[in-house]
Structure 1
């Protein structure tokens, strides 16, 4: 029997998949690996029970010394069960981390990814989405959309130079006239859409604008 092979196959599925999405949740293979863990545990119990003392459920060191093959078999079964558990946890962790990254980079779970999730993964994503949205909200959180830039902002405002005149625009602090060539200090989350459209560009001190 090739112990741990199924667990390795499971982990390879997600590791070799596109990092920005999820492979289909392989429930059949997950169940197979879990079954292997149960079989290893059952074999461990079966072997140890043969050498338990009559008055307690403990195997003496002398019993193992006299039966090295059995002792080795127990070690193999225990280590195989642990290895399979680690592979399962690594598989689950990889998928959860990708779901979190999708929330940060895409803001919503694409249908093409959602159909590859297990029911539990969908519940996790919904819960994570609620927590993150609440944390960033103006009413209950910090009032800043942290997903606009994967790099933590150094300040809540950013200095921009207008590349294409936008006329008078309303911002959270009031009205500003965005005319070509003018400089403005805007809130990061309100400047980001304009930067993406190419209407303005960020200005860094010392770059001569």
Structure 2
């Protein structure tokens, strides 16, 4: 605890300075060190309060306060103790804020991953803590239930995160994939075949590298 808040700042930087597309491993060791530092500050804070309170009581017994009313006989009379209390209290708050920011930024990325697809890549899954995996499963259940026909709104909100200019997009099949009944009819997926289909139908297949989206420039 030589430099107050240094460990918590390092923890925060791990996620804050990491590119959005990267999900760094949960740093359980640094989290525990920050929690330990908070506990140490709490112990020192309690000790500082007790020491200051003893000084107030001794001053009252010795008559040091003189004619000062009892209501004004406070710890403020001992600035060195007040400084110690403020330092440790501020350190606790700073560590808590950085620890919460670290957790919240990771949860924001986990929620973004669900909007990109229901399946977590293995490298991302192995980088999550047990609590984060449970959070993803719970968030997945809530979002799926909300979008489900009958029980929810009956629309997949994860498809058009950016509103399309056209409801249909042009795609190319990257592999032979058989037939699929889409919203505009039955489509036969033959490698390198180019066709139009709704973005809602195409998006899951694009994510799984069965199709690729084409721009008009690809036709020339």
TM-score range, shorter chain: 0.7 to 0.9
Shift in Å at residue 108 of structure 1?
1.8
The question of 1:11 aligning with 2:20 is answered: no
CA RMSD of aligned residues (A): 3.4
Q: 1:191 to 1:2 in 2, by over 3 A?
A: closer
Q: Which residue of 2 aligns with 1:180?
A: none
CA contact (8 A) 2:52 2:81 kept: no
Shift in Å at residue 18 of structure 1?
2.9
- Mind listing any 5+ residue stretches in structure 2 that lack a counterpart? 58-69, 173-179, 188-195
Match among 157, 170, 180 for residue 146 of structure 1: 157
Deviations 1:39-69 (A, max 9, x none): 1111111111123265xxxx97544333111
Q: Which residue of 1 aligns with 2:84?
A: 73
The 3-state SS of whatever aligns with 1:21 is coil
- Mind listing any 5+ residue stretches in structure 1 that lack a counterpart? 164-168, 178-183, 202-209
After the TM superposition, which residues 54-133 of structure 1 pair with which residues of structure 2 at under 5 Å, given as runs?
62-133=73-144
Shift in Å at residue 160 of structure 1?
6.6
Q: Which residue of 1 aligns with 2:51?
A: 50
TM (norm. structure 2) is: 0.69
TM (norm. structure 1) is: 0.73
Q: 1:194 to 1:32 in 2, by over 3 A?
A: closer
Find the aligned partners of 1:34 and 1:190 in 2 and give their Cα distance: 47
Q: Which residue of 2 aligns with 1:20?
A: 21
Q: 1:142 to 1:81 in 2, by over 3 A?
A: same
Shift in Å at residue 194 of structure 1?
8.9
CA contact (8 A) 1:146 1:152 kept: no
